[in-house]
A and B are shown apart, each in its own frame.
Chain A
Amino acid sequence: MAVMLRIRQPYLEAIEQNRYADLPGSTYAVGFVRAYAEHLGLDAKEVVRRFKYETANDFSGRKELHFPSPVSEGRVPGGAILFLGLVMAGIAYGGWHFMSTQERSLAELVPDLPDRLTALIDRSKDVQENDVKQLAAAESEAAAMGSAGSVGEEETAELAEAETAAEPEGDNASAVQAVAESEPEAPAAQAQTETVQAEAATPEAAPAQVTQPAPVQAAPAQPAPSQPTVAEAAAPPAPPQEQVAAVASAPPAPRPADLPAVPSVEPVAEEARVWGEQNRDSRIQLVATEEAWVQVRDDKGQLLLTRLLKSGDTYMVPDRPGLTLMTGNAGGLKITLDGQDLPTLGARGAVLRDVSLDPEKLRSRF
């Protein structure tokens, strides 16, 4: 029989004697039983089914497959690294948490600048101005708090020079022509007219104002920031004279007009200034008792004034409804309504927004 089936006799005997543990493996055992049954003329399927049922315990389920795997080399175990990393992250977080809870007020309010230091800043600014006279145009503008473009200023100065140079020669350049139109109306000396024209040439100046003989008169009509320069230049009559004289004497020099302009500005910077002089008889006036930043807007949000008023400076508020005031130092600002002082709007250093500059509302405020 073993020869016929080629199944070794011990295995066949094991099958006969139900010694299933001696058989090589479930797959082979089932194969042997099937071959044996077929050979004996039995119903192979039934025999195999019964055999499987009988051996269900011997060959429990499918055998686990264990692949031989090479012994892992000695390395730092990944788990340890992970654990260490977690621990360190925990420590880092704990430390941060501790620090952040201990020193809660790391971000303190920036303290106000002491007056001593503010004075220093102001002084250094003045010193700078005095020193750097070469940067006249730009610097003088800064000192006067004017916001007119320095380029424009320079251009006008140069234009003035060109004219002064051209005039004696009797040249009829077109640029000079435009200037010349206003000349007959100017009662002052030739040099003075030139100064006025130079001012008039700034973009904001209207031709009508230029034609007015007195430069002081022309200035207040202009609310633009370039005014101060004009006003100051006009107030002390001497410097312009000198300036033009200097220009006349040396026409090819490009900058002489700028240089003398600076001293004319500086003395004024120390004095109290008046803004919005065209609103001479306005009902409301803002008078700075100390340095205060002031911004005035009209009802459309258009800026009328935005600057730092020095102590003693005055702004004449135009008589228009819907004006609002914003100030950075409510205590340093005195409001005069119809010549009568109103109490201050707030404490020193208090910031106020959207304060209506309507006389009635202001009155009712106090």
Chain B
Amino acid sequence: MFSRVTGWMSADMAIDLGTANTLVYVKGRGIVLNEPSVVAIAEEKGKKKVLAVGDEAKMMLGRTPGYIQAIRPLRDGVIADFEVAEEMIKHFIRKVHNRRSFASPLVIVCVPSGSTAVERRAIQESAESAGARRVFLIEEPMAAAIGAGLPVTEPTGSMVVDIGGGTTEVAVLSLGGIVYSRSVRVGGDKMDEAIIAYIRRNHNLLVGEGSAERIKKEIGSACPPEDGEGRIMEIKGRDLMNGVPKELVISERQIAESLAEPVGAIIEAVKVALEHTAPELAADIVDKGIVLTGGGALLANLDFVLRHATGLPVSIADDPLSCVALGTGRALEEMPKLKNVLSTMY
């Protein structure tokens, strides 16, 4: 009863707790925060203290002295470091939440559809201990589909592929529910790793995660260019042979080669999902196609590759990076109506 009263004063929020980025949507205000899910922790006299969170901490990633640790508390879409994740959520809530009101907010957090009950509970508990009044969970593909504006509640099949930092969610939705979903632990991170491995293997050069991500964003492509090497980029790293820093030029074709494996995994996941789709829904999907959301959708030519691999029309949602956050936010705004897409672990 009391919580209902204080609820009016608190800024309820929806959190897209992603592996790469965390987005916070505040009721009535839209997306107010979009920062990398990175926490820098300093060890001071044996005590661990949060030094920086978000953009600031991401700058420290891979560049820290001994007493500082830059941690990404989420791996593969789930919480890997419970305490650090809690600190991060707490920080974001504090940053976003109206300091004037003492009330604790209602929070909706999205979870990968493939996450286990233990992982969901971990996310819910860390959100609760971060100061949430009430925590609801929403499945990521549902949030992505709502955010992309798909007619999820109609009796027609919609397929959404959400390529996030840690996971790729493929789901077929109809009548407000998930008919089939498949979550593969391939995403932006795996692409970065593939790039690092490729450069190390072929050029004996070790590049950091940050550099790899930059390469992927600038010249990354799901398929090699039709002719020539495509765009080129200078990359810097440490030479593995003689251990000195080195700079070399890498082309789009090479990166496309390196990304072939994670892209293949995504295609495979989509194909498997299509195989498991009921014929009626498959007919709908043939008509309307697949919608790509998530940061991975921004990889050049990914829609082209998917289109050819599946033979279905593939479209990229508007603003794919914030689809999940928008969808979660919409669930928050229309809480009474969209109540049945929300769940709680208790």
Contact = CB atoms under 8 A, between A and B. Distances in A.
Given A8-B313, A25-B288, A31-B317, 13 more contacts: A25-B151, A26-B149, A27-B148, A27-B149, A27-B318, A31-B289, A31-B313, A32-B315, A34-B316, A35-B313, A35-B314, A65-B176, A67-B176
Interface stretch (B38-46, B70-78, B332-340): B332-340
Contacts of B32: none
B318 A30 contact: yes
Contacts of B287: 8, 24
B148 A6 contact: no
Interface string A61-87: 011011111000000000000000000
B51 interface: no
Contact of B153 (A26, A27, A34, A67): A67
Nearest to A11: B313
A62 B312 CA distance: 25
7 contacts: A7-B313, A8-B287, A25-B288, A27-B291, A28-B313, A34-B315, A67-B176
Chain A interface size, as a band, is 20 to 34
B305 to A, nearest CB: 12
B20 interface: no
B312 A6 contact: yes
A14 interface: no
Contacts of B317: 27, 31
B221 to A, nearest CB: 14
B152 interface: yes
B151 A63 contact: yes
B311 interface: yes
Contacts of B334: 65
Contacts of A31: 289, 291, 313-317
Interface in A44-70: 62-63, 65-69
A27 to B, nearest CB: 4
A124 to B, nearest CB: 60
Contacts of A5: 307, 313
A9 to B, nearest CB: 12
B288 A28 contact: yes
Given A28-B291, A67-B338, A68-B176, A62 B313 contact: no
A28 B303 CA distance: 13
Contact of A24 (B152, B288, B318, B337): B288
Nearest to B326: A62
B175 interface: yes
Contacts of A32: 313, 315
Contacts of B175: 67-68
B150 interface: yes
Interface of B: 146, 148-153, 175-176, 287-289, 291, 303, 307, 311-318, 334, 337-338, 340-341
Contact of B337 (A26, A35, A67): A67
Interface of A: 5-8, 24-28, 30-32, 34-35, 62-63, 65-69
A36 B150 CA distance: 20
B86 to A, nearest CB: 32
B146 A65 contact: yes
Main secondary structure of the interface of B (DSSP, over half): loop
Contacts of A28: 288-289, 291, 313, 315
A6 B318 CA distance: 20
Contacts of B291: 27-28, 31
B176 A6 contact: no
A65 B288 contact: no
A186 to B, nearest CB: 84
Give 10 closest A-B pairs by Cβ, nearest first: A31-B315, A67-B176, A27-B149, A24-B288, A7-B313, A65-B153, A28-B288, A6-B313, A6-B307, A67-B153
Most buried by B among A5, A24, A65, A66: A65
B61 to A, nearest CB: 31
Contacts of A62: 149
A67 B337 CA distance: 7
B284 to A, nearest CB: 9
Contacts of B153: 65-68
Nearest to B287: A24
B313 A65 contact: no
A24 B175 CA distance: 16
Contacts of A8: 287, 313
A63 B317 CA distance: 15
B315 A6 contact: no
A204 to B, nearest CB: 65
A67 B146 CA distance: 12
Nearest to A66: B153
A32 B176 CA distance: 24
A311 B287 CA distance: 116
B160 to A, nearest CB: 10
A69 B153 CA distance: 11
A69 B313 CA distance: 31
Contacts of A68: 153, 175-176
Nearest to A30: B318
Contacts of A67: 153, 175-176, 337-338, 340-341
A30 B317 CA distance: 8
Contacts of A27: 148-150, 291, 315, 317-318
A344 B210 CA distance: 110
A67 B312 CA distance: 27
A7 B318 CA distance: 18
Given A6-B307, A32-B313, A25 B150 contact: yes
B289 A7 contact: yes
